[in-house]
Amino acid sequence: MTKITNLILIGGGNSCIEIIDLIDDINKFNLNNKINIVGILDDNIKKKICGIKVLGKINSFKKYPKLNFFLNVHSYKNRFIRSKIIKNIKQIKKKFINLIHPSSLIGKDVRIGNGNCIYNNCNIFSGSSIEDFNILMPNVSVATKSSLRTNIFIGKNVSLSVKTKIMNNCSLQPNCTLLENISIAEGIRSMPNSLISRSFTKKNILIGGYPARFILNEKK
């Protein structure tokens, strides 16, 4: 018998369209466990997205205590807004499911929290920890003994080496490489194609380059 997980998506922007496509592809592989998108919550969009009805504003999630949720506000521009949403929904964190594409390698000793999204062809090796509400785009590699905290966006083709530590609200843009034993402080955003060869301890800054360096302070 097929198990059905009824789901409400929170956020109706471009990331919502990508998540709908991802769920459709996951359903093709998971024949015995299907995800059914019941509707979408968004503060600005009032009609439908990809044929799925917008049920109301984000704060109306309390009306659906028996359903599961997924937060799909992915843009680096909204990462601090996303952080505020996460604080508002923390009391129902366990209702947020993980979306993990079957083509990704997840080591048997990997610890994964709630509300994470792991796209296709990612490699998460044993000994690593991924907490809550993180997004790993296609072809991300996370080496063993790495740690990702909460609300982190990791772009396509990013490679994290052994014992990488990423704090809350960070955004690593596509094609970045982090060398071993690197720590990235809270709220840092990297430019694409950067080589991050040292740790950065100052919060909420933009870094980039080859090797990466401080560029500017960012506003929350």
DSSP 116-127: -EE-TT-EE-TT
Residue 76 pLDDT grade (very low, low, confident, very high; cuts 50, 70, 90):
confident
What is the tally of structural domains in the chain? Answer: 2
Whether 142 is covered by a domain: the verdict is yes
Same domain, 51 and 114: no
Alpha helices in 47-180 (DSSP H): 79-88
**CA-CA distances (angstroms) from residue 27 to 102, 109, 131?**
10, 25, 24
Whether 40 is covered by a domain: the verdict is yes
Same domain, 60 and 114: no
CA atoms within 13 A on the CB side of 176: 27
Which CATH number do you get for residue 26?
A: 3.40.50
End-to-end distance of the chain based on CA atoms, in angstroms? 47
Highest mean pLDDT among 9-13, 77-81, 83-87, 150-154: 150-154
Same domain, 68 and 109: no
**45 has pLDDT over 80:** no
The average pLDDT across 69-89 equals 90
Whether 80 is covered by a domain: the verdict is no
Alpha helices in 14-161 (DSSP H): 14-29, 79-88
Same domain, 139 and 204: yes
Which CATH number do you get for residue 200?
A: 2.160.10.10
Whether 87 is covered by a domain: the verdict is no
Same domain, 67 and 142: no
What amino acid is encoded at 54 in this protein? V
Same domain, 59 and 131: no
Same domain, 168 and 133: yes
Same domain, 38 and 106: no
Report d(CA 120, CA 188) in Å as an integer.
25
**46 has pLDDT over 80:** no
Predicted model pTM: 0.94
Contact 191, 175 (CB under 8 A): no
Same domain, 138 and 56: no
**44 has pLDDT over 90:** no
What amino acid is encoded at 67 in this protein? L
Q: Quote the tokens at residue 106.
A: 């997840």
Please tell me whether residue 95 adopts helix, strand or coil conformation.
helix
Same domain, 178 and 106: yes
Eight-state DSSP code of residue 200: B
Domain holding 178, by residue range, is 99-210
Q: Quote the tokens at residue 45.
A: 């969009």
Contact 72, 117 (CB under 8 A): yes
* pLDDT tens digits along 128-174: 999 999 999 999 999 999 999 999 999 999 999 999 999 999 999 99
Same domain, 103 and 206: yes
Largest Cα–Cα distance of the chain, in whole Å? 55
Burial 104-137 (b: 16+ CB within 10 A, else e): bebeeebebbbbbbbbebbebbebbbbbbbbbbb
